[in-house]
Chain A
Amino acid sequence: KAGVTQTPRYLIKTRGQQVTLSCSPISGHRSVSWYQQTPGQGLQFLFEYFSETQRNKGNFPGRFSGRQFSNSRSEMNVSTLELGDSALYLCASSRGGGNYGYTFGSGTRLTVV
């Protein structure tokens, strides 16, 4: 079956701009989580959605937001981009949550210049 699909794979944005990243989970998976991966901070939890509801949010500023649609597809948005937002953004899906094991996509590599 198809895995977790993230688009686009690569993005280059300028400071101050905003960006929207997209994630299509595995069919039947209703939980979608987002993580930021950087060499310095590693993998850090951004937020998790289930049935269009945000169930948990990590320690990121309000510039980071997300949403989930009725078909479980999810988007995350980062407004007023800063250089430090350059990272690999990973989406992961699961049937119901962490204890089912998350399957990750290949990520979107965001570069802010």
Chain B
Amino acid sequence: QQQVKQSPQSLIVQKGGISIINCAYENTAFDYFPWYQQFPGKGPALLIAIRPDVSEKKEGRFTISFNKSAKQFSLHIMDSQPGDSATYFCAASEPSGTYKYIFGTGTRLKVLA
């Protein structure tokens, strides 16, 4: 019940294409869902986040779609660029009072020039 399942494990997209990464969770008490981007040799960087009372959030080329009834959320990267090549992690925050993220297993994205 504590897992966050992320897919695909790896993704190759042409420059200008749309990258889509999916995550699913079981614990309906999760109340905050961030996405992180990690480059080699660096720590994860917060990209965008959503709360379960919102179905979609957009920041620049990055959009989170959230489906509460299906317990799924996804990251869409529009107009993907070679600089977006990185590993992406979804996460879910346990309910307030536990202060802990459960991370997905990561998606390695490669955007071809």
Contact = CB atoms under 8 A, between A and B. Distances in A.
A7 interface: no
A34 to B, nearest CB: 11
Given A43-B89, A56-B98, A99 B32 contact: yes
B100 A58 contact: yes
B103 to A, nearest CB: 4
Contacts, number: 66
B100 A90 contact: no
A103 B100 CA distance: 13
B105 interface: yes
Given A42-B105, A43-B89, A98 B99 contact: yes
Q: From DSSP, what is the main secondary structure of chain B's interface residues?
A: loop
B101 interface: yes
A48 interface: yes
Given A99-B32, A101-B34, A42 B93 contact: no
A97 B96 contact: yes
Contact of B101 (A4, A50, A98, A106): A98
Interface string B33-54: 0101000011111100101000
Top 8 closest pairs, chain A to chain B, by CB: A104-B43, A98-B93, A43-B103, A48-B99, A99-B32, A97-B99, A45-B100, A106-B43
7 contacts: A33-B99, A33-B101, A44-B103, A45-B101, A55-B98, A56-B99, A90-B44
Given A102-B101, A104-B46, A106-B42, 10 more contacts: A35-B103, A42-B103, A42-B106, A43-B44, A44-B103, A48-B100, A50-B99, A90-B44, A98-B99, A101-B49
